[in-house]
Chains A and B, each alone.
Chain A
Amino acid sequence: MIALADQLLVLVLLINFVVLGTSRLIFSIRAVAVQGVILGILPALIHPFSWHLVGIISMILATKGAVIPLLLYRAMRSAGIKREVEPFLGYVPTLLLGAVFTALSFGFAGKLPMLAEHQNYMFVPASIATLMTGFLILTTRRKAISQVLGYLVLENGIFIFGLLLAEAMPIMVEAGALLDLLVGTFVMGIVINHISREFSSLDTSRLTSLKEE
């Protein structure tokens, strides 16, 4: 089964590039949702069956796959924006950077000692690469929604790493995942809706009145 996990991780990496490459917000929201679903499936592949596990998985699928994307989708609609126009860094350079970072993360993971059973799987590189992708989105996109997406991708990266620990300390992983995702992202969703009400736009370049002259 765990061999399948690796295939899925490749998929995750590909989705990273999709998110980096697309300009249509709705599309990247969907992509992130798909990524979330995949991550939801992954535990099922690497852990033995238990009702507890089912609970976790369903929770993750619900939030990552449905709730948060919907939240973002609503915010996007209410603000009436379709696409991420003029990002701070063009799409092609972003993609290239993404590639570079992915390569780097493979290198980084290679330097670190692994457990034997994780040795020939790409959990660590995938997680680091996703993390970096998240950062890349956060630093290159203008719209608040895209930045939330970036944060989500970053979270996914962390989550992937968490899978390695899942059987060692489940509580930890769940606490992390749930708190961050549920609460953190949820609050962000709320704030975003507030923003769209205040500015009738989700363009964070409008959110620059607080600065030093």
Chain B
Amino acid sequence: MLAALIILPLIGAVVTWLIPSDRLRPIALSVFAFGHLGVTLRLLIATPPPSTDGWFNLDALGKIVLLSTSVLFFFCAIYSIGYLAYRLERSNRVLCIGLLICLSAASMVTITHHLGLLWVALETTTISMTPLIYFNRNARSIEATWKYLLICSVGVALALIGLYFLAYATIVAGVEASLLLDDLIRDAGKLSSGWVHAAFVFLLVGFGSKMGLAPLHTWKPDAYGESPGLVGAMLAGGLVNLAFLSLLRVYQLCLATREIAFFQNALVVMGLFSMIMAAIFMARQADFKRMLAYSSVEHVGIMAVALGLGGKAVFGALFHILANGLTKGVLFLSSGNIHRSYNSKSTDHVRGALRRLPWSGGIFLAGFIAITGSPPFAPFISEFTVVSSAFIDGRYMVGALFLISLGIIFIGMALTVLPMVMGEVPEDSEVTSYRDTLWTVGPPLGLLLLVFLLGVWIPAPLLTILRDGAALLEVHP
């Protein structure tokens, strides 16, 4: 059953490769996405036991990321039917194949417990996304692609040497050389702290740059800004979570090695730094897709802070995986529609979106309210959990900085988003063929409803999964 997660998308990749028509391909994509979603839900309900060699084990953490990725991918796939219909000027074969390969690798990341394999899968997602960012085939997009590729590759390379350090630590410790999470956790006590520390640093920087923690985030605004809406959604809502999952694995290891304090502090510092950076760059942002990219930087920061705080905040971190992923989907897809309709990403040209695109504009506005942590939307739950546990645990400084940067970000984002959606459409604004249709509006709307639902009611099974996940990340005395 687990294998299906990996294989199904690969089959899909082959099929879409064979399909000649640019109109049919997205439909096939959606079909396979639906299949994947089905398998995912099936797996969440009836989880198979870990594989005997311990390489594959779909634990609670994996489930959360898998769920968010699969759901987001499903909606993106549906969206692609409507969206790519407007982009028939160029073939979408590479796009569809890339997405499916990425999905397969992503599933691999979520189900494996072998750090090496996890790393390989992660690298695969990075590379499979490269051509997608270059979808628009222009100078700006090639630049974005280049930066994305080089920075992420360097980052992942660093992660690799981090893993090597870890492995060498096992050899030095004289225990069975292995990168299986469970073995490592078992032998964690024996590993020499020198290598382990070095490993953690390299892994943190490596996965951090993939995740986009400041100051390793520099590729994000370019890549998100230049890639199509749905690719941006997958990057911000999917890949970010995969990188975060990898960090969670490292975190589990740290817990076992009792070296957690340094790692936690590092996470808090980097997280807050990311939030502040995002705050600075979001104010007066003239390009709304770049703004969304910085918002993504902010939210990985939130997750990092939450993880670093530990305790109750970890629940917030895990829930934020879902909340952030889905909300980012809402924002990127609706902003993609707005971009299509105005044929511009500049907030100087985009005005009165509520008038021109009542649905997309409204969804974008709602997404903005959601992502800035206002109830009744899901991000509120996670962000409030983080804030409250910060204050309850007496980390007043962290809590205060957290709130302040949230405040600045809200102001900056409001000053960008509200003028976009409100008011009159400027006369000189370009008139394009784009109209809101069920296919382009339905997916973001569906995601929005999910975000709202999770904001007022978390289903009991999901709650248990989240709690189990949090339990995996607690200090075991």
- Among A22-30, A61-69, A87-95, A155-163, the one that faces the other chain is A155-163
- Among B218-226, B362-370, B391-399, B463-471, the one that faces the other chain is B218-226
A 199-213 to B, binary, CB cutoff 8 A, 1 in contact else 0: 100001001111011
Indicate whether A1 reaches chain B with its CB closer than 8 angstroms.
no
Taking CB as reference atom, which chain B residue is nearest A131? B161
Indicate whether A172 reaches chain B with its CB closer than 8 angstroms.
yes
Which residues of B (124-154) have their CB < 8 Å from a CB of A?
A: 124, 127, 130, 134, 138-140, 142-147, 149-150, 153-154
- Inter-chain contacts of A111 with B (CB < 8 A): 194
B 332-351 to A, binary, CB cutoff 8 A, 1 in contact else 0: 00000000000000000000
Indicate whether A114 reaches chain B with its CB closer than 8 angstroms.
yes
Q: Given A165-B171, A172-B116, A175-B116, does the pair A210, B225 have CB atoms closer than 8 Å?
A: yes
- Inter-chain contacts of A115 with B (CB < 8 A): 171-172
Q: Are A169 and B116 in contact, with the CB atoms below 8 A? A: yes
Given the complex of chains A and B, what is the CA–CA distance between A66 and B235 in angstroms? 34
Q: Are A198 and B139 in contact, with the CB atoms below 8 A? A: yes
- Among B162-170, B241-249, B375-383, B431-439, the one that faces the other chain is B162-170
Q: Are A169 and B177 in contact, with the CB atoms below 8 A? A: yes
Most chain B CB within a 10 A radius of its CB, from A161, A165, A175: A165
- Inter-chain contacts of B143 with A (CB < 8 A): 207-210
Q: Given A161-B164, A172-B163, A187-B127, does the pair A210, B171 have CB atoms closer than 8 Å?
A: no
Indicate whether A3 reaches chain B with its CB closer than 8 angstroms.
no
Please classify the interface of chain A as helix (H, G, I), strand (E, B), loop, or mixed, using the class held by over half of its residues: helix
- Among A77-85, A96-104, A178-186, the one that faces the other chain is A178-186
Given the complex of chains A and B, what is the CA–CA distance between A111 and B195 in angstroms? 10
Q: Are A165 and B168 in contact, with the CB atoms below 8 A? A: yes
A 45-72 to B, binary, CB cutoff 8 A, 1 in contact else 0: 0000000000000000000000000000
Given the complex of chains A and B, what is the CA–CA distance between A31 and B157 in angstroms? 21
Q: Are A169 and B142 in contact, with the CB atoms below 8 A? A: no
Indicate whether A4 reaches chain B with its CB closer than 8 angstroms.
no
- Among A11-19, A32-40, A188-196, the one that faces the other chain is A188-196
Indicate whether A136 reaches chain B with its CB closer than 8 angstroms.
no
Indicate whether A176 reaches chain B with its CB closer than 8 angstroms.
yes
Taking CB as reference atom, which chain B residue is nearest A188? B149
Q: Are B153 and A188 in contact, with the CB atoms below 8 A? A: yes
- Inter-chain contacts of B150 with A (CB < 8 A): 138, 147, 151, 188
Q: Are B177 and A198 in contact, with the CB atoms below 8 A? A: no
Query: What size tier do the contact residues of chain B reach?
Result: 35 or more
Indicate whether B178 reaches chain A with its CB closer than 8 angstroms.
yes
Q: Given A113-B192, A113-B195, does the pair A151, B177 have CB atoms closer than 8 Å?
A: no
- Contact among A114, A144, A184, A198 with B172 in the assembled complex (CB-CB below 8 Å): A114
- Inter-chain contacts of A194 with B (CB < 8 A): 134, 142, 145
Which residues of B (162-204) have their CB < 8 Å from a CB of A?
A: 163-165, 167-168, 170-172, 177-179, 192, 194-195, 198
Indicate whether A164 reaches chain B with its CB closer than 8 angstroms.
yes
- Contact among B120, B139, B149, B154 with A187 in the assembled complex (CB-CB below 8 Å): B149
Within the complex, what minimum Cβ distance (angstroms) separates A210 from chain B?
4
Indicate whether B123 reaches chain A with its CB closer than 8 angstroms.
yes
Within the complex, what minimum Cβ distance (angstroms) separates A120 from chain B?
15
- Inter-chain contacts of B139 with A (CB < 8 A): 198-199, 209
Indicate whether B281 reaches chain A with its CB closer than 8 angstroms.
yes
Indicate whether A10 reaches chain B with its CB closer than 8 angstroms.
no
Q: Given A114-B172, A195-B142, A210-B221, does the pair A165, B164 have CB atoms closer than 8 Å?
A: yes
Within the complex, what minimum Cβ distance (angstroms) separates A135 from chain B?
8
Indicate whether A2 reaches chain B with its CB closer than 8 angstroms.
no
Which residues of B (76-123) have their CB < 8 Å from a CB of A?
A: 116, 119-120, 123
Given the complex of chains A and B, what is the CA–CA distance between A32 and B140 in angstroms? 30
User: Can you list 24 A-B pairs with a CB-CB distance of less than 8 A?
Assistant: A112-B198, A127-B161, A131-B161, A147-B150, A158-B160, A165-B167, A169-B116, A171-B116, A172-B163, A175-B120, A176-B160, A180-B157, A183-B123, A184-B127, A187-B127, A188-B149, A188-B153, A191-B130, A194-B145, A199-B139, A208-B143, A209-B139, A210-B225, A212-B281
